Structure 1
Amino acid sequence: MGNMIKAEFRKILTTKLWWAMMIPAFLVAGGWALGGAALTTEIANDLSREDVIQQFDIPINEVSWSVIALARAMNIASIFPMLFGALGLASELHRRTITTTFLTASTRPGVLTAKAIVYTVWGAIYGLVIAVAVSFGALLGSDSNHLPDGKQWFLVLLAGVIMCTLWTLFGLGVGALIGSPVGAIVILLVYALVIGPFGEFVLFSATDGSNLPGFLPNGSANGMTGSTASALLFEQIQALVLNLGGEMVTEDRRETFDQAIRAVAGAPGALSLWLSTLVFFAWTALFFGTGMWRNQTRDIT
């Protein structure tokens, strides 16, 4: 197994794909975080100058609104590890280089297990690179008072890294199932950029803000970071309100707040953090498992 894992790493590092995907992932993540942080800062600063806000001493300028930019940027940039994973097995199947690998390895399951391990590591690497990019973007685009504290920063980025890792394995499974790099990329891009976001928005609107979109792959993945951001912001705002002598926010108002923040972060109708993680893990396991099973018996001649 150790030799097969080394061989898989060598395959990736001797091609240009890993950095050809990583560079735009870094730039897109940083750009979205920069723009999102600047926008949320501007909106928060404008609201803080409103008479109603000043009259009721609502601490708008003491809230870490930039966590929304962190979450949204990680959601957008996760497209790149997904595509990287999709090409992992689909390219070898298309070029038939997988034939030599299967014939020279001890077992097919060993090869597929090695690929799973290697692409899990690469998914985490992509997640870390994207996390660094969104951190730089938020630092450059946000006022210091709107930046998250260490705990908030870490939790949002941790959720994002896990999401990127799962998207990589999701893409690997889809690519393994289809067997065509072009087909896998087209299907994943159409879903991630068109069908997923617009379909979830329509479903969310048509069902009066239900959680149905949170059970879909894109909705549950985005919900991992979006729900983390909303929970952290609510916790912070509730503490500030209590410090000012206010009361605990009711459960209905909390649900409204959570849904609003999740929607802004690109996850309308998302479930809680743990449920979103479990749902997306289930989708990943379904496509990854099906793709690996398909290649146990695929004709490689």
Structure 2
Amino acid sequence: MIGAIRSEIRKVFTTRLWWGMGLGMAALAALISMGFAALLGNADMDAGEGQGNPFAQMSIGTAQLIYNAGLVQTMTTLFPLALGVLLITSEYRHKTISATFLSTPNRWVVLISKVVAVVVTGALYAVLHAAASIAGGASIVKFVKNQPTLLGEPEIWKSLGIGILAFAIWMLLGFGIGMLIRNQIAAVLIAVGVTFVVQIALNIIFQVKEWYSAMKWIPGNLTGQMVITSNPLEGQAIDPKIQAQYWDHWWQAGLVLVVYAAVLSVLGAWLTTRRDVT
């Protein structure tokens, strides 16, 4: 098992794909955090009916929102999702999966080793994402807005630590989709399309229909609720209907997201152990 895990990790980090996507993700994370930080102190901005203005002043919740802006907007999650898809579908595309299964005949050992490699890569992406977000967001908060960065607060680092879990889960979501849909192009398009288009459409539909409780089951919303552990609107009146779209605790949102990833990964692994390879 150790040898198989080492082999799968080496497959990831001996290619240019992981660091190429990582640099793109880091640049996007920094830009989004800078954009959120630029809203700080804007008294005229309102986040929406019944939600007040989370950027009226710097608080722990607002800092978490700024430093995790890419995750909250479900933009940077596209990178671990796509990489998770590519890590498994590239083996089918280039026919290397046959050699992999021949060298390690027990397919479950191979798949578990790949899951470990995916989790390790997701954790690395989370650290890179956090570093870029802090660099971008904190620079605007401190030097442009003249506000405290609050980087000394434990809750901020707790939020960033939860981001490691979020990234690992999103990579597992992509990995599960890749095992279910072995065609690389189709898998990437479906994964990104569902995340970027379908989630936006569902949020709009649920908002219009006032099905607020249904919104908390959408993967992108779950991710935002995981990393924002402190309420940025603390002390402000919030419409109970709006509050219905949030879980009471971050770990509840995380558990639902884990179930999504587990279902896709287990189902994909089960099918993989029974499919023929060439």
Tell me the equivalent position of 1:66. 63
State the shift of 1:34 in Å: 0.7
* Equivalent residues, number: 261
Deviations 1:248-299 (A, max 9, x none): x7xxx4565974xxxxxxxx93423122111111101111111111111111
Q: Say yes or no: does 1:24 pair with 2:24.
A: yes
Considering fraction of residues, name the structure with more helix. Answer: 1
CA distance in 2, matches of 1:105, 1:136: 43
Sequence identity percentage: 25
Secondary structure of the structure 2 residue equivalent to 1:33: helix
Output the amino acid matched with 2:247: L
- Aligned partner of 1:51 in structure 2 is none
Distance apart, 1:17 and its partner CA: 0.8
Structure with greater contact order relative to length (CA < 8 Å, sep ≥ 6): 2
Counterpart amino acid of 2:65?
A: I
Which whole-Å deviations, capped at 9, do the CAs of 1:137-186 have from their partners, x for residues lacking one? 11112235353352232122122221111000110010011011111110
Q: Is the 8 A contact 1:170 1:284 kept in 2?
A: yes
Distance 1:293 1:205 in 2: 39
Deviations along 1:36-95, whole A, 9 cap, x unmatched?
Answer: 1112x1415x68xxxxxxxxxxxx545343322223223421211111111111110122
| Counterpart contact for 1:197–1:218, Cα < 8 Å | no
Q: Provide the TM-score with structure 1 as the length reference.
A: 0.79
The unaligned stretches of length 5 or more in structure 2 are: 46-55
Q: Whole-Å Cα distance in 2 between the matches of residues 139 and 66 of structure 1? A: 9
Shifted more, 151-160 versus 123-132: the winner is: 151-160
Equivalent position of 1:2 in the other structure: 2
Do the aligned partners of residues 95 and 193 (structure 1) sit closer, same or farther apart at CA in structure 2, a change above 3 Å counting?
same
What is the SS of the residue equivalent to 2:273? coil
- The 8 Å contact of residues 63 and 156 in structure 2, kept in 1 or not, is answered as no
Equivalent residue for 1:203?
A: 206
Aligned partners of 2:257 and 2:24: how far apart in 1? 24
Bigger Cα Rg: 1
TM-score by length of 2: 0.85
1:216 aligns with 2:193: no
**CA distance in 1: counterparts of 2:269 and 2:171, whole angstroms:** 14
Distance 2:126 2:90 in 1: 22
Which amino acid in structure 2 is aligned with residue 73 of structure 1? G
Distance 1:115 1:61 in 2: 44
The secondary structure found in structure 2 opposite 1:299 is: coil
